[in-house]
């Protein structure tokens, strides 16, 4: 069904006389790495750090619509138009970002279908020493964490994959392992039209609606119209979300290699 919607939605652009399908370039891991960063920032919260889906978004490796679109020619219009599903907001990306993501998805599909995806990835491929340097230096991880304090034992608490997800995918990180603390909630303060302030735990937010749970557990939905009412979202994981956008694949792998030993 998604495939039908996805492909059908793209017919106009396919028919718009660009002279057939664009050539499919060979796999380029540098391009895929760039795509991974954009993907992590814009798609992973729903489709999962590893592209295999979460409760909020489908597995993109298994999606035939993705496989049939190796250059992302259809992907760009699809995400720009809000996925054809009104609950997924439109995502503005440049053409280069779209083709980078498409390359990243090809690498993920290749990984999964070659059988390499069936074995646990050797994710701790980084350099632990470089990870330590980054942790205490440019990464500024030590401003909030300590490997002797809150992160003590983190290497045995999680699999390497999970651990890496905790670093680069703090939100939408998928099913919690046993004994895993719940994802820290985002909170929201809303200034209503009459000037009164309400606040609570954020449940969902879109350009049109914001839903929160108040301290007594009741759900409320407020309609948004442009900047009104004023909505301020607070996220204790903001630093992670920011750093994940800056981090290179090597830094991410180095951090994982460092923290698995803790
Ligand atoms: C808010 C959650 C959310 C975000 C963010 C999101 N998606 Fe989705 N995506 C979904 C859901 C839910 C579906 C399935 C329903 C649909 O197609 O609308 C989906 C479907 C898709 C499909 C169709 C898969 C198929 O079955 O053919 C593609 C491709 C896709 N997403 C790519 C992306 C990309 C690329 C990004 C980032 C630029 C992204 N999505 C961001 C939730 C999301
Ligand atoms: C501004 C503060 C801040 C910074 C900077 C920060 N983190 Fe975090 N980190 C958090 C918060 C908040 C959590 C969530 C704790 C929870 O789940 O309750 C967290 C969780 C984690 C976890 C999961 C811990 C667990 O036991 O589940 C890991 C691993 C982690 N951070 C690593 C890092 C690394 C590596 C960096 C540097 C790139 C970093 N953090 C930078 C605030 C920060």
23-27, 97-101, 134-138, range with the lowest pLDDT? 23-27
Tell me the H-state helices in 62-125.
64-67, 75-80, 95-113
What average pLDDT does this structure show over 137-153? Answer: 93
CB 203 within 8 A of CB 220: no
- Whether residue 173 is found in the same domain as residue 243: yes
Q: Is the CB of 169 under 6 A from ligand 2?
A: no
pLDDT score of 124? 54
| CATH number reported for the structural domain that contains residue 202 in this entry | 2.30.30
- 36, part of any domain: yes
Beta strands across the sheet bearing 209-213: 219-223, 209-213, 197-205, 187-191, 230-234
The rounded percent of the chain whose pLDDT value lies above 70 is 79
Choice between 12 and 88, residue whose per-residue pLDDT is larger: 88
Ligand 2 centroid, distance to 187 Cα (angstroms) = 18
> Using CB atoms within 10 A of its CB, is residue 221 exposed (0-12), middle (13-18) or buried (19+)?
exposed
Residue 98: which domain range?
A: 2-118
- Whether residue 84 is found in the same domain as residue 6: yes
Q: Shortest CA distance to 128 belongs to which of 255, 1, 262, 23?
A: 255
Q: 170-210: per-residue pLDDT in tens?
A: 665 555 455 666 777 889 999 998 999 999 999 888 888 99
pLDDT score of 123? 56
Tell me which ligand sits closest to the C-alpha of residue 80.
1
Choice between 249 and 220, residue whose per-residue pLDDT is larger: 220
Q: Shortest CA distance to 103 belongs to which of 133, 124, 73?
A: 73
Q: How confident is the model at residue 21 (pLDDT cuts 50, 70, 90)?
A: low
- Whether residue 21 is found in the same domain as residue 82: yes
Q: Shortest CA distance to 61 belongs to which of 27, 110, 25, 118?
A: 110
- Whether residue 177 is found in the same domain as residue 164: yes
Among 77, 99, 118, the domain-final residue is 118
Task: Read off the pTM.
Answer: 0.53
- Whether residue 101 is found in the same domain as residue 133: no
Mean confidence (pLDDT) of the chain: 80
* Residues β-bridged to residue 231: 190
Angle, alpha carbons 13-17-23 (nearest 5°): 80
- Whether residue 101 is found in the same domain as residue 34: yes
Among 98, 118, 138, the domain-final residue is 118
- Whether residue 107 is found in the same domain as residue 207: no
Q: How confident is the model at residue 14 (pLDDT cuts 50, 70, 90)?
A: very low
65 has a pLDDT exceeding 70:
yes
Ligand 1 centroid, distance to 128 Cα (angstroms) = 34
Asked if the peptide bond before residue 229 counts as cis, ω within 30 degrees of 0, the response is yes
What average pLDDT does this structure show over 131-156? Answer: 93
- Whether residue 172 is found in the same domain as residue 248: yes
40-44, 155-159, 222-226, range with the lowest pLDDT? 155-159
Choice between 28 and 16, residue whose per-residue pLDDT is larger: 28
3 has a pLDDT exceeding 70:
no
pLDDT score of 118? 42
- Whether residue 252 is found in the same domain as residue 149: yes
Ligand 2 centroid, distance to 145 Cα (angstroms) = 7
- Whether residue 48 is found in the same domain as residue 82: yes
Q: Is the CB of 65 under 6 A from ligand 1?
A: yes
255 has a pLDDT exceeding 50:
yes
- Whether residue 112 is found in the same domain as residue 208: no
Tell me which ligand sits closest to the C-alpha of residue 37.
1
Among 118, 144, 161, the domain-final residue is 118
24 has a pLDDT exceeding 50:
yes
- 157, part of any domain: yes
Which of 57, 64, 102 has the most ligand 1 atoms within 8 A of CB, as the residue to mutate?
57
- 123, part of any domain: no
- Whether residue 193 is found in the same domain as residue 250: no
What average pLDDT does this structure show over 14-18? Answer: 38
The tally of domains found in the chain comes to: 3
């Amino acid at each position: 069904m998604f495939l039908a919607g996805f492909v059908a939605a793209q017919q106009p652009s396919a028919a718009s006389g660009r002279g057939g399908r664009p050539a499919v370039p060979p796999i380029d891991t540098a391009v895929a790495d760039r795509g991974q960063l954009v993907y992590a920032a814009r798609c992973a919260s729903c489709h999962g750090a590893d592209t295999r889906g979460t409760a909020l978004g489908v597995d993109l490796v298994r999606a035939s619509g993705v496989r049939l679109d190796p250059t992302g020619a259809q992907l760009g219009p699809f995400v720009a138009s809000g996925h054809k599903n009104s609950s997924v907001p439109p995502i503005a990306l440049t053409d280069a970002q779209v083709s980078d993501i498409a390359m990243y998805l090809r690498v993920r599909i290749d990984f999964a279908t070659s059988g390499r995806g069936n074995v646990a990835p050797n994710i701790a491929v980084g350099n632990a020493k470089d990870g330590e340097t980054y942790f205490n230096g440019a990464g500024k991880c030590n401003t909030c964490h300590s490997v002797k304090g809150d992160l003590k034992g983190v290497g045995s608490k999680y699999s390497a994959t999970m651990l890496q997800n905790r670093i680069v995918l703090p939100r939408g990180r998928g099913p919690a392992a046993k004994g895993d603390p719940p994802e820290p909630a985002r909170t929201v303060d809303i200034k209503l039209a009459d000037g009164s302030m309400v606040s609570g735990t954020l449940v969902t937010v879109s350009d049109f609606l914001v839903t929160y749970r108040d301290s007594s557990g009741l759900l409320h939905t407020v309609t948004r119209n442009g900047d009104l009412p004023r909505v301020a979202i607070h996220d204790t994981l903001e630093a992670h979300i920011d750093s994940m956008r800056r981090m290179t694949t090597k830094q991410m792998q180095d951090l994982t290699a460092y923290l698995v030993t803790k």
